[in-house]
Structures are given as structure tokens and as C-alpha cells.
Structure 1
Amino acid sequence: MSPSFSSLPTGHQTMILAHRVMLSDLPRIADAASRLAATPDATRAAALRGYAARVHALISHHHEGEDEFLWPRLRSMGANEDAIARLAAEHEELDKFLVEWHQAADQLVGGGAAAAELVRLTVEVHQRLLVHTANEERELEGRLAPVLDRAVWARFETHMRKTAPLWTLRFMPAWLLTVAGPDERTGVPALPVARLFRRWLERQQFAALG
């Protein structure tokens, strides 16, 4: 039986929310791109291009934090190598699609064929990320759990905060808050900041996603 959300270290809670919001936003991006493919709109396309760039940056930073800090730390503590190798390999494969997806989003100008291509790639990334995040959460609660104590999660949180681009300091907390239930807000870092910028984020999302 999986542990309850509230019993998990805050870093683990944040990771679950990060996975959830990524998976929530990608279909919304695909829907917005689909509408642009049917009805080009330069203003909406620019907003979507900028929003997709931010989502890409956040997913990439999430993977980099695991590859550069969390997996090496767990290896040094004797964690299950097969589990780490599996997740690292999934990152490597997924990141190829993320690069292609980001390039397609960056080429979005008004709509049409470029928007249709963005739809295709967004659906592909979403499907692959859905599988990967499920595998990752299962391994974190299974084969990797014996070495994942609160100290490791705290160090991972510190690493992620120190390596994050400055713009994420207002975007990320508000982004996570959009998918956190009332009893899950302990997983939202800087909760007062999240509440302060939630309306700002909603305006960004409305401009890009409708």
C-alpha cells in the first residue's frame, strides 16, 4: 500500500505535484495548438509559444536535477542500480522528444501546419511522460525507497532551488498550486508566493491556452 501524501517528505510531495501539473498542462497545450491549426491567431500563438517554452524549461530542469543530483546521490548510498538505470534511460529517450517538441513550439507563429505539428508532438511527449512518471513514482516508493530518507529529499529540494532559473521562483509555486488539493499544499514550496502569483499565472494561461 502506498504511503499517504501527507506522510511523505516535502520534496517527494513536490515531485508528485510536479508530475501532475506537467501531465495536466500538456493536453491543454495540445488543445490550444489544435485550435490554432484550425484558426491561426498570431497573438495567441505568441502566448502559447512563450508558455510552452516555460513548461519545457521546467520539465528539463526537473530531469536535470534527478540526473545530476538525485540519481548520483542514491547510487552513492547503494540504491538499486537497475531502478536508477531504468529511470535514467527513460530520461535520455524522453529528452529527445522534448527537444523536438520545444523546437516545434518555438517555430509557432500563427497556426496552420506548424500548429498541427505541435499538436502531434505534444501528444507524443504527454504519452511518454505519462509512462515515465508512473514508473518513477513506483520506483521511488519501491526499489529506491530504502535509501530515500528525509535528508536526501531535503538536499534535493535545496539543489533544485539553487539551480532553478530566477523566473521560476514565482511561476513554479503558483503552477504547482493549481493541481494541489486542499490537503496537499504542504508540497507547494513557498506557499505564500504561490498564492500571491496564482492570478498572474492564470492570466498567462488564459492568454496561451484559452
Structure 2
Amino acid sequence: LLFHIESAYCKPQPTTDHYPWDNQGFKDNRGTMDDRGSFRCPSVYRVLNQAWRNVNHGRGNPIRCDRGFRGEWYRFMGPAGTQMPTQSPGTMNVCGTYAPMWMNGTHPTVADGEVSRQACAYWQGNACRYPTTIQVKACRAGYYVYKLPRVPWCSLVYCGESGFTGCHEYYASGQRASGCPPVFANCPDGRLL
């Protein structure tokens, strides 16, 4: 399933707060900036929205595997969650598979540009078995995209979890906070920025 981001957008309300995807005060030395002053995110990516992919979902049947991934950009959405977990699930047999994959590291800000992180599989008590390098970007619109390669073997699956969506976690005055920041005002057509 491919998803193309519309070029139209709604302008945020003025604010002095800084969000993880805010790049004010940074020069264009870590990525290409667009005409709105934000670092570009891929305009085409694959959507991962399967409920079985969520870290709160059991193993299920059939056992899933991400061997078909080819290093493209992916975004977690819907029942799959909104981001990759940054902590080991601590157990096997979740995310529709035997060995769930999670991201060992923090999510970047927009100003960080594209960053490398390590994805790990939880397998038989080892939280970081089969380490795999992935790429991650924070998008100005308030979501993350991940460049995910083929997993080293089956049955490994990249997991999702509910987390940062723009209205759950944000930075206010340099501090992490929760709620819905004012920058996410509903657009006239019902979309969120």
C-alpha cells in the first residue's frame, strides 16, 4: 500500500514552543529544507497498519515475517501504532511473530535529519538479537518514517506501538510534555497539520 503526501498543508498557529519536529534555529546543514523551512520527508512511503504488527498483539496464526521488505520508507499508522517501540517488548510471541523487532535508540527531531538506528529482535531472553541498521526521520507534519531493510531471517517483524502522534507527546519550552499542542489545530477540511 503506497501513500502519497498531499503538497497542500495547513499553517500552524503561532507558538513559542518547540516540538520534536521543529527545526527553528538550525541551519540547513543536516538535510534539504523545503520552501516552508522544514526538512523534507519522503513524499511516498509504504503504510504499515496491520493490527497484528502492534506490540500489544499476540503471535497469531499464521506467523508473520518481514522478509519481503526492500529498504523502502515505511510509516506506522492505524491499528499497528504510530511508531516503532524504543524499548524491548521483553517477550517473544508478539507482533504476529516469534521474534519482535524494536528500535534500540531514541527518535530523532526534524533538525536531526535522517539518522541511523539499530533495530533488534527479542529472542529467547536476548533483547538485541539479530541487530539490523535502519534509517529514521521525523517529519514536520508530526510523524516518523523508517527505512526498513529485509529482516535477517524469519520469523522477525518490525513492531509498532501507539506513541507520539502529535497529540500525545511534544516539547514545550524545551521539556517533554503531553496533551495536544496548539500547533495541531484542525484545518478547515478536517485534516491535521
Q: Quickly name the TM-score band, shorter chain normalised.
A: under 0.3
TM-score by length of 1: 0.23
- Which structure dedicates a bigger proportion of its chain to helix? 1
Greater fraction of residues in strand: 2
| TM-score, normalisation: structure 2 | 0.25
**Which of the pair has the greater relative contact order for Cα pairs under 8 Å at 6+ separation?**
1
